[in-house]
Structure 1
Amino acid sequence: MKFGGGGYVTGLVFHPTTSNLLYARTDIGGAYRWNQATSSWTPITDGIGFGGGENRFHGIESLAVDPNDDRLVYMAAGMYTFEGNARMYMSSDRGDNWTHVDVPFAMGGNNPGRAMGERLAVDPNKPTTLYFGSRLAGLWKSTDSAKTWTQVTSLSSVQMTTAQGYGNGVSVVVFDTGTKGSGTATPTIYAAISPDYVSAANLTSSLYRSTDAGATWSAVPTPVTGMYIPHMVRAADGMFYVGFTAAAGPGAGGPGRLYKFDGSTWTLLKSEDPTQWTSYGIGSVSVSGSGATTRIALGVSNSWGGGEIVQLSDDAGKTWREIEVGTSGETASGWVDDIEIDPSNPDHILHVHGGGIIETTNASAAKPTWKGTVAGLEETATLALVTPPAGASYNFVNSAGDVGLWVQTDLTKPPTLGPGLGWSNGYSADMAWTEPNYIAGFGMTNGDAKVKGYWSGDAGKTWSFFSSLPAGAQQNQGGSLVVTSRNNLVWAPSNSVPSYSTNNGATWVATNLPPLATIGAGGWSRGYLLVADRQNPNKVYAYDSGGATWSNLPSIVYISTNGGKTFTASPGMASAKMASDAYGSTFMAVNPNVEGDLWVADGNTVHHSVDSGTSWTKIAGFASANGASGASLIALGKAAPGAAYTAAVYVVGVRNGVWGVWLSNDAGATWTRFNDDAHQFGGIGVMAADHNVYGRIYVSGTGRGLLYSN
């Protein structure tokens, strides 16, 4: 689905000498490379292997390029510090292919402070040497092109724990050099230290310097204390421009200060005065040129459309003017936590924000024109997906985080049809199979955390809200909803007993399904997954996955024959022996062409019933391996031409130790892998199959929006 952006781009990295070679890193959606020929972004991490939790390596902590070789790029990857040790990736072809090494420290590409940096830096004079500023374990060094890493104990050997917080640690590494390729290590290096690590390691400053190529380090006195240094950049004349801000971000809150630093003297250039702009912060800074005419672009974070977004100076910080607020075209305030001046064109300035990237190519104009540059960059998070019967006027209904519910009518264009809830989460939706213009769903508006149910009778053109909510819907956001026929619905809020409505949501009545037992410390989230039989509107199936692999609770499929009012447990459950697993690691689907044809992926394997759950057949060959779920998703779509079985079956799981999307055209007798190693997307969280086109599935990658096959 072409949405464009939709998520937080945490950093932009230009190659310093090759025009138009630009990389973007995201917090959950991997990394991208700019394609000048198509004016779009190319994803470069879709082929990163998926297995034992490898979706976490789509959280990109930092990127670095080799200024001597524009084909070399390095990537630090790990989504959360609590997930354990991370990885360093290396590419010799601009990210088309990667190798990696596991590193003995954690990363946090989606932790607070994720736009600070860059933490990863290549020594321009001796490019086999790299430094990385970690969040919890201080500064690290590699002398063999990122293959092995050693802690720089001359700075600190302290290892913080996740109990001390997310950790921001060493946030920036900068080499003090204007040369490259000399073969001799750059002697002067700076490392910015966040307040948490300053405290934990008993350091005395937020900035340290080495003048002997990293052998020893000494504190640099700074003009302010107790603040973060989110970015520090070097101009061509050796002058440093350093931002200080009170909060780590996203949306690095203020007060903020910008200084220039010549190695000994600090000069204040810009102050986001808390008496005037209480929360404004200095999120990012970039420079071009040198001396008295140095161009400085300053990203003002947390301003939310106030008086400043991008401040520009063309006289090394003596005077400033605002170049985004009040201009024509698009504007994007808020999380302006990285800004970059194009090294080959100083009139080209880009900055990140909460929904992607925005740029101007005429920064010197009195009122520059800004526009989003997000083509090909998709970071929306689909939470649920449903496809209509063949011949419907739309392709699917997408319930997504932050951007809400959308009805997709053209795969080549962004969607335009939805309930119009703005910044909201869509949790679940369904349509009447015999009348697909009737669509119902529910979600939450993020501004006030209010859950709303909504419906459309004209395929998404207009919408109305349900006049009431079922028990548990507001308190337990998320869950599942199905439509049995127009105005007849069953809604299963998370951790709640499902309810049904026969009057289009005017009133709700609880079903007889049993309450779900709380498991785990603090209450592990659970829920019933609902599906409606597409051939018999009186049949509804409810699946309780047991909640977790360690819950010791049974996994049960329930069947209703009266439209979801009352349910009974499938009589075949005892012999089926389905595994217990988390709600998000399991799935249930029906063959829409045959009554009672039901499929379950229980987290470990696949089960099939052709008699509405009276009996079950276990599909051989699926099994969890290497930390990857054996069967987490299942979808049925249009059958292959000439196939005996009336639907194509797609399963996300592991067969013979290989994770992927698997396809069967013969009801599970034989399987072939449908995707390949280049299309793994950091794992697949949601999948649905098309009923018009054989071989077309829709999947959500980890932070990669919604993708489809042909």
Structure 2
Amino acid sequence: MKYLKWNVSILRMCLTFVLYLTAFQIVQLNKIYAQSDRDWSNAAIDSAWTTVPLGGGGYVTGLASNSDGSAIYCRTDVGGAFRWSPRDDDPQGNGTWISLSDHMVPFGTPKANKLMGVESIATDPGNLDRVYVGAGNKIFLSEDRGSSWTEILSELSMTPNSPTTRFFGERLAVDPNDPNVIWYGSIKAGLQKGVRSGEDWAWTQVPASSVPFGVPAKKGRDAGVTFVLCDANDGNTITYAGVFDGASSPTTGGIYKSSPTTGGIYKTSDGINWTKVPMASGSFNTPRRAQMASNGKLYITGGGEGVFKLPRGGSISAITPSISEAYFNGVAVDPNDHDGNIVYVADKASKKIWRSADGGVSWAEQDSTSDKRQEPDGTPTLNGYWFGNIASLLVNPADSNELWVSDFFGVARTRDAQNLGASGATWYMLQNGLEETVVMDVLNAPTGAQLITGVADISGFYYNDTTLRPTGAGGGKLTNPSGANSTSLDFSEADHDVWVRAWHGNYGNGSGGYSSDGGKSWLLFGEIDQVSIDSGAADWESWDLSTYLAKQQAKGVSMVTLVIVSKNATNFTRTPVQFASNEAADASLRPQLIINGASETPFSPIADTYVAGSKADKESNFGSFDVLKASHTYTTNTTNDLQIYMKFDLSAMSPISSATLKLHRLDAKPGIVYGVGVFACANTSWTENELTWKNRPLTYASSNSARNPFAEPRYKTATGVRLAGGRVAASSTDPDKLVWLPVGSKNRAYYSDDRGVTWTQSTGGPSSEITGVYTNGHSTEISGQPLAADRVNGDFYMANFGSSAHQIYRSTDDGATWTLASSLKNGNTYNMRTPQIVAAPASPSNPSGGDVWVCDDSVYNKNIGGLWRSTDSAATWTKFKGVSKVTAVSFGQSQSGTGYAVYIYGRVGSEYGVYRSDDYGSTWTKLADPTIKKVTALAGDRQKYGRVFIGTAGRGVFQYE
């Protein structure tokens, strides 16, 4: 009985403790969200959502390590924070990055997507498991290496994706002698000091009179405190803060006319009183990053101002490596070097890393031309570039020869940094699990690639297998155009090999692309055909001009101009590829246009010449030369550009069913590969004996006369209208026919019947500017989709979203003319970016098409938005009850194999998430919640039932099955 009473007492105590613990956990849920056990694995909450791997893709802006190197962290501008998880059984260093931000707060938490922009990261020198991050205008603390988080400060201003602040260092620092004290340097509110007492934190702001708030170099940019570092100093902490003053530094192009007053390094020995550290000579106004050596020596980078050193108790002196154009950001020290003399710095301008073993007296270097670069598993690194714009450097405390680098595409590491500058360090890209792309569109066709993505900054990628990173030509990257933002993707239901995409650059340029091989290779809008030429023994080269010339002839065009342009050749050689001209002595080698096969005599050009962009030859004419030359070297000018012009008379030709341009290439040095394209040009009034670079007519694809179309595509119509980005759609019945709703000309629709070579403005349609078009080429917001191709009957649909009704237009003549099909009442849900009109595949109830859906998430007012369907080509609509705030709608393969499954990202009832319907919207199945990232794109899998893809605003693409 005594033991029973004792056991009952114990039971009561346990129940009391459990109840207390449960209550405590409920209270803490708003602040702490645990992800995993303490095995540091950070496994996803629901493994149904998995990454579609790319590896890198965005700017990794910072690296940090705990004191023994057992935890390496990185931060990104839009993709969150990560921890490196090595494979213990792999001596080669394979491993994966684990996201620390995906589940920092529960799915659906308001403004949770802002947590993906991480401005700073710091570890506690005395606690291997404690880490801090500054993200989403807040500061968070983790006691378990990022598995769970507690918010300790809110309502700050952070700009982790700012063009300026991405170059700055770690603004969080833990006092090595008092872990209850941390510092944070903000961009607008100066230096903040946090003191912990139990579970509470008290924050104070250091007055601007002690540590200035900083001055930006340009209006609209942020600066502030650029880094904070603490020196243990034998138990007497010295804290340093860098302050940026871009107002007066000649290297920043400052906007203010003032003398340096705020920029420099500030320090305190008591945490209260601050002084500005003096310069040994000269001035230093724009500190960016800094690292502390074990003996208290501080090394600082200052962009164009160079590299500096600050001994404990001393003054600042310059130790910049000798270089003509300096722009230093990344800096790292060897924490095991007790003399504090081993330091690494990275120069953005020359794309070099420098190493000094004597405190900056002498330097060794390695640049990005080194071929010692691969993945840890031995495969070549095809995506991204290294040393491109290094933000951060880090030496692993566990290995002095292990140097980590972060830049615009990801993270690299070498384990023989001591060889840098001598035999050369071997670098490995550590991209596994590090997904950081802003996704603008995702799509697959019923056959072909498992997935094609359109992303910001780096075009997009082609996937044969969505479980593997793309390793095809160029790493599966969509090229031509390459880089910047692929804003829209579509394919033709009539031919799944035909894909089309819209593209917008970051500098006003823009165009689109057409693919006839399922998305593997692309032609620019305005480009007729392109071939890859391997130089070597003389031979004939051929281009297919069939569709373009046939369409031109059918329109009554009698004369055409062709412009032959080269992309960058192997190793950026200046050597041109040369062809025999119409003046060649051997008439059998002259240019030939073969019409309808071998049944007719080849046609010769009525004029041919080439023009040269070099300063000396801009006004030179080469019409009498017996050769034609094409070349291009990647450059901001046209010094090495040579372009070929040819003119053909179509009026004497039979009705064209096929057309092949053949040029005889002269022999050349082997081993050089050229990508040579034939472009269309509206102007045919030139003569070969007068044409020069300065008076040459431009192709449709190069509205900027200073550039090669491959270098900076800018589409301009024959009437002089610039077109770029926006949305594009391909006909479901004729793969030659496309419709484009671009940015430009008040977002009017344009149509093409020759695969995007020429574009003509449509007639009809709305009288006002179409809203919902992807507007600026930079934004990471979800974009509206106001254009769709019917998936069966060849019609097109266009929506003018907004006001009290969405106006839906239809074209039955391939986009040439538009008529109002219906006015869809939406309850005043006006918004510019997020509504969508999407056409569905054929189904048993709609075998002839006309099945169209519209969604609206009503983000700009209190109306709940909705989801609508039309089965009569947008004439009438039915709204789905209980479905609201729908951001995206898409279609995938059905469970039965006929018809389709519907996927939405929105709200059914009261729950927000990704849903699937197998009965055309009558009932819905909620899928597991994805990560907290904002969904920017959605695509049901047309090849596999149950699989759906989502694109995010910084964490790449995920798939569910």
> Could you tell me which residue of structure 1 aligns to residue 789 of structure 2?
532
CA deviation vs aligned residue, 1:598-639 (integer Å, no higher than 9, x gap): 22121232222232222222223344xxxxxx2211111123
Q: Is 2:659 aligned against 1:605?
A: no
| 1:65-123 deviation line (CA, Å, top 9, x unaligned) | 12222222211113xxxxxxx12222232222333355232011011122312101122
Is contact 2:441-2:454 (8 Å) kept?
yes
- The corresponding residue for 2:821 is 570
The answer (yes or no) to whether the contact 2:739–2:751 under 8 Å persists in 1 is: yes
SS in 2 for 1:636: strand
**Aligned equivalent of 1:436, options 496, 504, 518:** 496
Cα 1:553–1:299 change in 2 (3 A) is farther
2:809 aligns with one of 529, 533, 558: 558
Q: Which amino acid aligns with 1:601?
A: C
Correspondence for 2:365 among 322, 343, 363: 322
Matched, 1:588 2:848: no
Q: Which residue of 1 aligns with 2:920?
A: 667
Say which is worse superposed, 368-377 or 471-480, in terms of deviation. 471-480
* Matched letter for residue 78 of structure 2: I
Q: 430-439 vs 295-304, which deviates more? A: 295-304
Aligned to 2:171: 119
Residue from 446, 464, 477 that aligns with 2:724: 477
Residue 185 of structure 2: aligned partner: 133
* Contact 1:90/1:146 (<8 A) preserved: no
Contact 2:751 2:761 in 1 (8 A): yes
1:410 matched residue in structure 2: 465
- Residues in 1 aligned to 2:823 and 2:771: alpha-carbon distance in whole angstroms: 25
Is 1:303 matched up with 2:350? Answer: yes
Amino acid at match of 1:670: T
2:890 aligned partner: 635
> Of 343, 367, 383, which residue of structure 1 is paired with 2:424?
367
Q: Deviation of residue 481 (structure 1)?
A: 0.8
- Once the two structures are superposed, residues 480-538 of structure 1 have per-residue CA deviations (whole angstroms, 9 ceiling, x without a partner) of 11111310111110242111122323433322222543999xx999986211121222x
Change (3 A) 1:36 1:195: same
Residue 474 and residue 22 in structure 1: after superposition, are their counterparts in 2 closer, same or farther (change >3 A)?
farther
Q: CA deviation at 1:686?
A: 1.1
- Say which of 495, 500, 516 aligns to 1:457: 516
Q: From the superposition, tell whether residues 102 and 668 of structure 1 become closer, same or farther in structure 2 (CA, over 3 Å).
A: farther
1:166 corresponds in structure 2 to 221
Look up the match of 2:608.
none
Question: Compared with structure 1, are the counterparts of its residues 301 and 598 closer, same or farther at alpha carbon in structure 2 (3 Å cutoff)?
Answer: same
Matched, 1:680 2:739: no
Q: How many residues align?
A: 658
Indicate whether 1:697 and 2:697 are aligned.
no
Q: Is the 8 A contact 1:634 1:652 kept in 2?
A: yes
Which deviates more from structure 2 when the two are superposed, residues 526-535 or residues 187-196?
526-535
Structure 1 alignment gaps of length 5 or more: 79-85, 246-253, 547-551, 624-629
* One of 45, 53, 75 as aligned partner of 2:101: 45
1:542 aligns with 2:542: no
Task: State the AA in 2 paired with 1:492.
Answer: L
Supply the AA of the counterpart residue of 1:189.
Answer: T
Residues 593 and 124 of structure 1: CA distance in aligned 2, closer, same or farther (over 3 Å) = farther
1:479–1:529 Cα contact (<8 Å) kept: no
Q: 1:195 aligns with which of 245, 248, 253?
A: 245
- Compared CA separation, residues 325 and 533, structure 1 to 2 (3 A): closer
Distance change in 2, residues 1:94/1:659 (3 Å): farther
Aligned to 2:252: none
1:487 to 722, 731, 736: 736
- Deviation at residue 327 of structure 1 after TM alignment: 3.4
Where does 1:210-249 land on structure 2 (aligned, <5 Å)? 210-212=268-270, 214-223=271-280, 224-225=282-283, 227-245=285-303
* Contact 1:487 1:503 (C-alpha < 8 Å) held by counterparts: yes
C-alpha distance 524-456 of structure 1, shift in aligned 2 (>3 A): closer
Tell whether 2:422 aligns with 1:379: no
Indicate if the aligned counterparts of 1:288 and 1:296 stay in contact, CA closer than 8 A.
Answer: no
Report how far residue 479 of structure 1 moved: 0.8
| Structure 1 residue 234: Cα displacement | 1.6
Q: In 2, are the aligned partners of 1:137 and 1:157 still within 8 Å (CA)? A: no
**What residue ranges of structure 2 are gaps of 5+ in the alignment?**
1-51, 88-93, 249-255, 374-384, 527-699, 701-714, 778-782, 844-848, 858-864
| Structure 2 counterpart of 1:34 | 84
Matched-pair contact (CA < 8 Å) for 1:233–1:287: no
Tell me the residue number matched to 1:107: 158
Deviates more, 1:656-665 or 1:595-604: 656-665
TM-score by length of 1: 0.85
Q: How much identity, in percent, do the aligned residues show?
A: 27
Q: Is the 8 A contact 1:73 1:92 kept in 2?
A: yes
Mean Cα displacement is larger for which, 594-603 or 507-516?
507-516
Q: Secondary structure at the match of 1:503?
A: coil
Greater Cα offset, 341-350 or 98-107: 98-107
Q: Does 1:151 align with 2:205?
A: yes
Bigger Cα displacement from structure 2, 353-362 vs 664-673: 664-673
> Distance between the aligned counterparts of 1:597 and 1:148, measured in 2?
59
Q: Paired residue for 2:486?
A: 426
| Shift in alpha-carbon separation, 1:290–1:371, aligned structure 2, 3 A | closer
* Gap change, CA 1:687 and 1:188, over 3 Å in 2: same
Q: In 2 relative to 1, CA 107–695 (structure 1 residues): closer, same or farther, beyond 3 Å?
A: same
Distance 2:277 2:436 in 1: 39
One of 130, 133, 138 as aligned partner of 1:75: 133
Q: Distance in 2 between the 1:519 and 1:508 partners?
A: 21
Contact 1:292 1:315 in 2 (8 A): no
Q: CA deviation at 1:268?
A: 3.5
Equivalent of 1:91, from 142, 151, 169?
Answer: 142
Q: Secondary structure at the match of 2:498?
A: strand
Amino acid in structure 2 at the alignment position of 1:99:
T
Tell me how large the CA RMSD over aligned residues is.
Answer: 3.2
Q: Is the 8 A contact 2:328 2:345 kept in 1?
A: no
CA deviations over 1:675-703 (Å, ceiling 9, x no partner): 32xx3242111111102222211111221
Q: Distance in 2 between matches of 1:350 and 1:488?
A: 49
SS state at 1:596 partner? coil
Cα distance, 1:535–1:600 mapped onto 2, change above 3 Å: same
Of residues 615, 618, 622, the one that matches 2:879 is: 618
Is residue 388 of structure 1 aligned with residue 645 of structure 2? no
Partner Cα distance (2:147, 2:505) in 1: 39
- 2:697 corresponding residue in structure 1: none
- Alignment partner, residue 67 of structure 2: 16
Once structures 1 and 2 are overlaid, which stretch shifts more, 408-417 or 487-496? 408-417
1: CA distance between counterparts of 2:240 and 2:442? 48
Letter in 2 for 1:257: V
1:354-377: CA deviation from partner (whole Å, max 9, x where unpaired)? 211222111123311123221211
SS of 1:302's equivalent?
Answer: coil
Given that residues 687 and 698 in structure 1 are in contact (C-alpha distance below 8 angstroms), is that contact kept between their aligned partners in structure 2?
yes
Structure-1 residue corresponding to 2:332: 285
Contact kept in structure 2, 1:155 and 1:217, CA below 8 Å = no
Could you tell which deviates more after superposition, 587-596 or 155-164? 155-164
